[in-house]
Amino acid sequence: MNVKRRYQHLLASLWPKTLKNRLFIILSFNVLIPLLMVILISYKSVYPLLDQRIRTGIQNNLNMYQMSLENTLSSINNVSQILAYDGRIGKKLSLFLEEKDLYTKTQINNDILQDLNIISSTNPTLGLYFYYFEDKKQMLYQSYNVREDFSLEKLPRLVELNGITYYGPHRTNRQYSDVQVLSVARKIVMPDQNNVYVYLETGYKVWDKISQTGQDSSMNDYHLIVDRENRITYSENETDFPIGSILNSGSAGKLQEANGYYVFETASNQGWKAVDLVSKATYHQEVRRWFEQLAVIVILSMLLCSLFAWMIWRMVYFPLKRVNQDMRGLENSDFDTPLSRFELVEFEVMMRNFDAMRVRVKELIQENQLKEKRRADFEVEKLLYQINPHFIHNTLDTIQWLARLKGQEDIDMVATSLNKLLYYNLGKRGPQTTITEELEALKDYLTLQKIRYDFEFSVTIHVEEELRCCLVPRFILQPLVENSLYHGDLDNNGLVEVTAEPDGDGYMFIRIWDNGRGMTSEKIASLLEKHSEEQNKIGLGIGVYYVKRVFDSQYNGLASFQMTSELGEGTCITLRIPRMYTTKDGDNQ
């Protein structure tokens, strides 16, 4: 478990934390991995095909070289057959040697020369030829002058078949010439003659054409010709493969190595072999060229992919950087500077949402500043109007005792009711009270109102006994009854009924009904929706709006406030409130 955690911790430490570095790593792998896969696949599939193509090309060129060499030797061999004893010219030669008559011998000689001229003209590959009497060191009918040191033993023998000896490339035996030629020596059996040969060489530049057959200018290769014993009879590279040495190699067509060269062989039907030596550097030159081309393609692909990766990185990272700058502007309370614009739809939508959020934040800040200003103004106003309640109570008590001393009962009753009402309303016993206490305060309020009004009205109160200890918000009945008195347009003998009765599901109903003239729905809406200056001048200056706000604040939707009215029928306000009681510990339940 610890090892796994260490491994995860190591990966977490190596993995970058910034989007910039992560994009760099991911896009780099996105570029490198496909290229590496292409290189690997190319090496596994293309390299064997390319190697096989090189080997096949070299082998085909060598086969062409061997066939050209073999065809040339066969062509010379065919001519030698005509010059042999059993051939037409060979028979004439035998007659020429046997004839004693000088005239006849001259005629035979002329015929032989005429036939030899025809052979020379019809065989362009034929060069030097003559009859050679090895025992006598005598030559007859030479087509050209022959070197004085001519010897068959000095020639590079390829193979001997049926009395015919094939010689590999060597310097011509024609006097005053150094061209390379191929040659054939055919032994002739003639009466009374031993070791007689007809010797033939290829013509001028025939070998040059053969040596260029199948040659690839891009290959730095050398040709060898070996006999049946793999002895080198001809070599284009005598430094590493001298004439007369044995070539150690495998079977023809198989890739073998010798002295730093790859050896390719092909065997002739005549028994000798043509060999092509290709240096390793030359052999792998095309492979290297292919790798160089592949490297160029890979580098160009990497540059192109890097360009695309940079474009993707720029397309993502730069807009995020500009978004970050705009957000820092919001952090510095800059709400008015225009935000950046983007071509990409996703970033543009994000900036629109951010702009909407910025506008909303600005509005909330302004609202909060306005609320703070209002609260400060309220605190100042509260301080200006704050009066010591004890001073008011003591003053009213003094008025009450003076009225009693002088027998002024009305003044005594007004002072007593006002003192009790102010004591209740200015009390500091919390936002809630019992229905009983609220009704007592309502009675004091009605006493004062009856003295002030010049018309008669009556208020009836009916409360179920079980509800008298229920808790209600402080100071809610007085504004509602006051609404009936001021806005209900009560006539003389007007009636206001206050009732409280339980509801079966843990609630209770409180209704305030009057038999006034009623009011329109527009009037009701104006009383519920705002607190006007006109209401401040009426009665206690609070109104129905205060009661509705108290309900919304204290009950959080658990209580309901409903106000209905019909013209000529009166107005009814219904309150539906959860029943709550005060425990002995002072808690509500």
Band of the pLDDT at 345, cuts 50, 70, 90? confident
pLDDT reading at 8 higher than 80: no
pLDDT reading at 252 higher than 50: no
Beta carbons of 459 and 446 less than 8 angstroms apart:
yes
Mean of pLDDT values over 493-505: 85
481/529 same-domain check:
yes
Torsion angle, alpha carbons of 208, 209, 215, 219, to 10: 20
Most confident of 50-54, 252-256, 369-373: 369-373
* Assigned domain for 183 exists: yes
Mean of pLDDT values over 469-496: 79
Band of the pLDDT at 541, cuts 50, 70, 90? very low
473/574 same-domain check:
yes
Region of 80 (left: φ > 0; alpha: ψ -120 to 50; beta: rest) is alpha
* Assigned domain for 438 exists: no
Band of the pLDDT at 295, cuts 50, 70, 90? confident
195/221 same-domain check:
no
* Assigned domain for 561 exists: yes
Burial state string for 178-187 with b = 16 or more CB within 10 A and e = fewer than 16: ebbbbbbbbb
pLDDT recorded at residue 108: 84
* Assigned domain for 103 exists: yes
pLDDT reading at 155 higher than 80: yes
Q: Which residue has the higher pLDDT, 493 or 205?
A: 205
CATH number at residue 275: 3.30.450.20
pLDDT reading at 386 higher than 80: no
Q: Which residue has the higher pLDDT, 381 or 229?
A: 229
Question: What residue type is 446 in one-letter code?
Answer: L
pLDDT recorded at residue 183: 92
Band of the pLDDT at 455, cuts 50, 70, 90? low
pLDDT recorded at residue 378: 67
182/233 same-domain check:
no
| The two three-digit tokens of residue 161, written as one number | 């078949």
Q: Which residue has the higher pLDDT, 153 or 385?
A: 153
pLDDT reading at 360 higher than 60: yes
Give 397's contacts (C-beta < 8 A, 6+ positions apart). Answer: 415, 419
Taking the C-alpha atoms of residue 204 and residue 224, their distance in angstroms, rounded to an integer, is 21
* Assigned domain for 389 exists: no
Please write the tens of the pLDDT for every residue from 233-249.
Answer: 888 888 888 888 888 76
Q: What is the edge-to-edge ordering of all strands in the sheet holding 180-190?
A: 138-140, 126-133, 193-202, 180-190, 164-171, 157-161
Q: Which residue has the higher pLDDT, 356 or 589?
A: 356
248 lies in which domain range?
216-283
Last residue of a domain, one of 283, 299, 329: 283
pLDDT recorded at residue 46: 74
579: nearest Cα among 490, 463, 492: 463
* Assigned domain for 423 exists: no
92/174 same-domain check:
yes
Mean of pLDDT values over 438-467: 80
Last residue of a domain, one of 256, 283, 310: 283
82/145 same-domain check:
yes
pLDDT reading at 253 higher than 50: no
Last residue of a domain, one of 208, 230, 249: 208
75/186 same-domain check:
yes
CATH number at residue 172: 3.30.450
Beta carbons of 181 and 150 less than 8 angstroms apart:
no
* Assigned domain for 101 exists: yes
Band of the pLDDT at 369, cuts 50, 70, 90? confident
pLDDT reading at 389 higher than 70: no
453/566 same-domain check:
yes
Taking the C-alpha atoms of residue 369 and residue 363, their distance in angstroms, rounded to an integer, is 10
Number of structural domains in the chain: 3
pLDDT recorded at residue 99: 80
Task: Quote the percentage of the chain above a pLDDT of 90.
Answer: 5
Please write the tens of the pLDDT for every residue from 124-141.
Answer: 888 899 989 888 888 888
CATH number at residue 520: 3.30.565.10
- pLDDT, mean over the chain: 79
pLDDT reading at 404 higher than 80: no
Cα Rg for the chain, rounded, in angstroms?
66
153/104 same-domain check:
yes
Mean of pLDDT values over 526-534: 65
pLDDT recorded at residue 356: 81
156/173 same-domain check:
yes
Task: Quote the percentage of the chain above a pLDDT of 70.
Answer: 84
Mean of pLDDT values over 315-342: 74
* Assigned domain for 535 exists: yes
Q: Are strands 457-463 and 494-502 parallel, antiparallel or unpaired?
A: parallel
233/204 same-domain check:
no
pLDDT recorded at residue 537: 46
163/266 same-domain check:
no
Band of the pLDDT at 13, cuts 50, 70, 90? low
574: nearest Cα among 498, 521, 485: 498
Band of the pLDDT at 172, cuts 50, 70, 90? very high
pLDDT reading at 200 higher than 50: yes
